[in-house]
Structure 1
Amino acid sequence: MTIDATMVGREYAAAGSYQVGREKIREFADAIGDGNPAYRGDDAIAPPTFAFVIGSRALEQLLNDAELGLRLDRIVHGAQKFAYTRPIKAGDEIAATATITTVRKAGPVEVIMYETTLTTVAGEPIATATSTLSHNRADA
């Protein structure tokens, strides 16, 4: 199946919420080489790109949608940006939902834009990530 405009609006919720822990924030900050003290301690906040860790769980649902027929070996992650309502904090329990917002074809390449919303389980908005994937459906 090829990607088309009928897929715009499809939503993919992550399986379960994500409990943000101080150690996970610190480990992520260490992995990206950021020693900012705000990313450590009891009141730690997460680096901005930590949102991808949580959002990737919703992306996994999108990538596994059999109707889309995407193959990981034919995908390039093109662009991503984050918009925050507030920082992610240690102790947050966060739900993530990815929604396909745009699809278009460029020859054999399907360009898929999706938006991932992060909210507390109580519904408080935290962040929105906008991302682009390019999928080449041509025979390798």
Structure 2
Amino acid sequence: MKHGSQPRRTPPRAERACPCGLPAAYGECCGRFHAGAAAPTAEALMRSRYAAFAVEDEAYLLRTWHPTTRPPRVEFERGMRWTGLEIEDVSGGSPVHTDGTVTFRAGYTYRGRPGELREKSRFARHQGAWTYLDAVATA
């Protein structure tokens, strides 16, 4: 989900639907993680990171990236709009685990053309908090 640079989009108002696809308002869902609450599971972190890409919250993405794989910055592609997230599989990643994986499909439009990103993301705890480690594309 790393793409070319553009100014950060304004996050949805707290009462609007969350970009991650759960039936909750942004402020009660991923917005609270973007504001500083810790994601309790790898799946919650995956959803909140997807929402962060949707609203172009670079600070949150960097803060939740494992330090061993964190890039110096996150760039956003001009013309990219994330349109939906579907979680396909979760392994580990609960409050009692130290690592986990989340396989997902993320829909997008790029310059008006629809597309889909499919990945299996790995997550690991770092200093007690869930962090994104890396991912492999899936078919």
TM-score (norm 1): 0.29
Please, what TM-score do these two structures have when normalized by structure 2?
A: 0.30
Identify which of structures 1 and 2 has the higher relative contact order when contacts are C-alpha pairs closer than 8 Å and 6+ apart. Answer: 1
Question: By percentage of residues, which structure has more helix?
Answer: 1
Q: Whose Rg is larger?
A: 1
